[in-house]
Structure 1
Amino acid sequence: MTKHANERTSVSALMGAKVNGPDGRAFGSVREFAVSPSDDAAHVFGFILRLATGKKNGQPSLIRVSDLVQGGDGLQLRASAEMQEMADAEAYLLLERDLLDQQIIDVNGHKVVRVNDVDLIWEACLDGTDRLSLRIAEVEVGVRGAIRRLLKGLPHGTIDNLSCRIPASVIPWDFVDLIDRDPSRRVKLKIEQNRLSKMHPSDIADILEELGPAERHALFTSLDEEVAAEALEEVDPKMQKALIEDLDSEQVAGIVEEMDPGAAADFLSELSDERSEAILEEMDPEERHEVEELLEFSGDSAAGRMTTDYVSLPEVATVSDAVNALRDFEGDIEVITDIILLDDDQKIRGLIPVVRLLFAEPGAALSALPQGHIVSCRLDANGKKVAELFDKYNLRSLPVVDDDKRLAGVIHAEQVIANLRHKH
């Protein structure tokens, strides 16, 4: 039996395979492949068998993979094998039911694909016995897997000879994220869900746009609030509405609180007044006040596009003060390119590029460091004017000031880019 260790097979190859009893007589055939995610998501726990006529009225039963041996005439039960009744099929991930023809997320390719087959590998158990285990190696998402299933029923040698000529398109099982349509099984199917949170929000947004409503809802609601907020900022208003359509106001409020205030205001402005008010009511007072102030402005004006997520300090601040302010900043730190120096009247007195902090002594005054040119715009500046300023001065951020020249907010470059992208 050792010769079978490390032998590759697949769901399509084993489906319907004959299983003999310890006496060599026909016992049943493979009907399904049961994985127990809570115990071991990387291996097939057992086969669900369609029993031969006359055995328990042909009702399906579960046999552990380790209770099988590979014989010359296929699979055979060990003498000590014990059959298990399938009391709760929902406790298992069933490879044929839950994977084949289903959509999954290719977290490396940042796209949605369809499963055509599942590659398996027979391996020796690590318990020192001669028992075998069946590891889930990859999922087939290309033509090769589809051909295998299409030719099912032909001799395995013939199928292998034909399919091996087709380039493989597979995703390692470790990188598989499943999209489940059935809420009752969603938790059990989240095998590697944490990988999604490591993807760029724009990639998650692209994936959401590829999915149908049910799968989109399942994926979006599986994300934590911070990741969901970042993804929501990346999609257009129509998709934003679709994503939160079936969520209650409390759930949406939790996501909106994690959004950039300017993006949150833009998002809420696209909703009905009733829906927007309901969401605002569920938000924490501080975040709600910030967003409500921005909602008062026209969406196409600088005020409507600005955010209150920026880092500002008094003129007398030091490099050490700036470093501490950056550490305490709760917004998206990646968009912060400048430290804004303000006088006692909240008027801009300096713009210090963050990179300058790397070459300065902690006790040095920020006002003594080389500064960028101060370019700002008024609250009522339109979108065209904002874009022209970014282009003309090659800006990374643009302060927005009120009629008294006091700082009101900042427009970051990524917000201008996102707006141009959505227009086209």
Structure 2
Amino acid sequence: MSEVRTIPTSVSALLGTTVVDASGVKLGRVRDLAIDVNRDGTQVAALVLRNPQMGGKDLLVWVSDLKTPEALGAALEATVKPELLIRPHVFLLLDYDLLDQQIIDVDGRKVVRVNDVDLAWQLNGATRLSIEDVEVGNRGAIRRLLKGLPVSAVDGFTGKMKPRIIPWNCVDLIERDPARRVRLKIGRERLAKLHPSDIAEILEELAPAEREAVFSSLPEETAAETLEEFEPKMQKELVQRMDSERAADIIEEMDPGAAADLLSELSDEESEAILEEMEPEERQDVEELLEFEQDTAAGQMTTDFLSVPNEATVGEAIEALRTFEGDADTITEVYLTDADEKLMGVVMLPRLILARPETKLSTLWEGHIVSCPLKASHKQVAELFDKYNLRSLPVVDHNGHLAGAIHAEQVIAQLLEA
């Protein structure tokens, strides 16, 4: 089996290269490089040639119909006559569609710009031109600036520069809009593994259309967590661009308090359309929270909390924690209630974990309860968190019934907005 020989090149190096026929007659210069993404998105399928004698019409020469290039920067020879490019829209054009577009660098957790694309001639019988990496650093930008100079001179100048690249196999195409701008993302599986705040920060750097395209590719749970990290204005813009069913699926995965805050920013018609698409239980939770004033404890609280009967055991509380359908990461304590749902005590999670399964929860709480009424102001809530060094604060109605809980991160977010 013969070894495959490769010759590195790039889009910037090939643009403007002369292509000739077998007799040396000039066919045109390389204007672009075309990928047939429906067949093989890892290979350049053809070169697009511009020949002034064709009256502005482009020609297409397939890479497989090119002779092996003898040297970088030398003219390329086509073994068959080029064909007229009739349907350019079926191809992804690397220069026209890709260069200068934005791409998400997952490892760097930021949005970067495509400056060049690294390619490699693969010479093993049939000629192939594979796509290797996307250049997002200064090396690619300098290559573009020096385009037209001898390739050897450009390589000599940029060869010692540290590359910043993203492997092509980590790049997925999302779609092309009518203006033929390609919107790119790194494989959504890798993106979804980032912390929601990192995803939100990345998406904030994108233009609205690109932001919407990438956000729509996220799994519902990840999309919900990410949506909670945005400022209200951007939350509203993203939700308004979705259909009601998709928005409802995402909002159902959100913390009820955060969902209510988001829906309160929408018009009554938009909010109602989304609520109608939600499951009855989630809808009821959010509708109840929508009735409260936003500048009160009730408007700040969530109904995602863990409560068990006052006479329950540690084992029963742990089982309730296992079956808890909310965000378990927010649970720092378990609330004890009587038969009328009145708050009777609070048990911190560490004490719960260290106790024996048969231990009664009522023997574990410290004997004092810190809570606040529904109408407590944000300032009063913050003062309670500060005074008692709280992680969560139960909210009770005028009869002492447990209505919700406020978590520390919600207080921090409120203080940052103030």
**How many angstroms apart in 2 are the aligned matches of 1:286 and 1:409?**
16
Change (3 A) 1:143 1:390: same
**How many angstroms apart in 2 are the aligned matches of 1:416 and 1:82?**
70
What is the match of residue 35 of structure 1? Answer: 35
What is the match of residue 16 of structure 1? Answer: 16
Equivalent runs, 1:110-259 vs 2, <5 Å: 110-123=109-122, 129-131=124-126, 133-176=128-171, 182=177, 192-259=187-254
Q: Say yes or no: does 1:293 pair with 2:306.
A: no
Change (3 A) 1:20 1:186: closer
3-state DSSP of counterpart to 2:212:
helix
Change (3 A) 1:191 1:114: closer
Deviations 1:44-74 (A, max 9, x none): 2412331768899964225145865222444
**How many angstroms apart in 2 are the aligned matches of 1:174 and 1:189?**
12
* TM-score calculated relative to the size of structure 1: 0.84
* Structure 2 residue runs without a partner (length 5+): none
Task: Report the CA distance between 1:272 and its aligned residue.
Answer: 2.4
Equivalent runs, 1:301-380 vs 2, <5 Å: 301-369=296-364, 374-380=369-375
Task: Report the CA distance between 1:135 and its aligned residue.
Answer: 3.5
Q: Is contact 1:312-1:341 (8 Å) kept?
A: yes
Task: After superposing the two structures, state which structure 1 stretch, 90-99 or 56-65, moved more.
Answer: 56-65
Change (3 A) 1:296 1:155: same
Task: Report the CA distance between 1:3 and its aligned residue.
Answer: 9.7
Task: After superposing the two structures, state which structure 1 stretch, 101-110 or 150-159, moved more.
Answer: 101-110
Change (3 A) 1:282 1:56: same
Change (3 A) 1:185 1:280: farther
Aligned length: 415
Q: Is contact 2:103-2:184 (8 Å) kept?
A: no
Q: Say yes or no: does 1:391 pair with 2:390.
A: no
What is the match of residue 7 of structure 1? Answer: 7
**How many angstroms apart in 1 are the aligned matches of 2:4 and 2:231?**
53
**How many angstroms apart in 2 are the aligned matches of 1:372 and 1:87?**
81
Q: Is contact 2:374-2:395 (8 Å) kept?
A: yes
* Structure 1 residue runs without a partner (length 5+): none
Letter in 1 for 2:323: D
What is the match of residue 71 of structure 1? Answer: 70
Q: Is contact 2:106-2:186 (8 Å) kept?
A: no
**How many angstroms apart in 2 are the aligned matches of 1:417 and 1:279?**
28
Task: After superposing the two structures, state which structure 1 stretch, 353-362 or 307-316, moved more.
Answer: 353-362
Letter in 1 for 2:104: I
Deviations 1:359-400 (A, max 9, x none): 444455444557696321111111011111222222211111
Task: Report the CA distance between 1:229 and its aligned residue.
Answer: 2.1
Letter in 2 for 1:390: F
Task: After superposing the two structures, state which structure 1 stretch, 195-204 or 132-141, moved more.
Answer: 132-141
Q: Is contact 1:62-1:86 (8 Å) kept?
A: no
Task: Report the CA distance between 1:311 and its aligned residue.
Answer: 1.6
- What is the percentage of aligned positions where both structures have the same residue? 54
Task: After superposing the two structures, state which structure 1 stretch, 334-343 or 247-256, moved more.
Answer: 247-256
3-state DSSP of counterpart to 1:49:
strand
Letter in 1 for 2:34: A
RMSD: 3.4
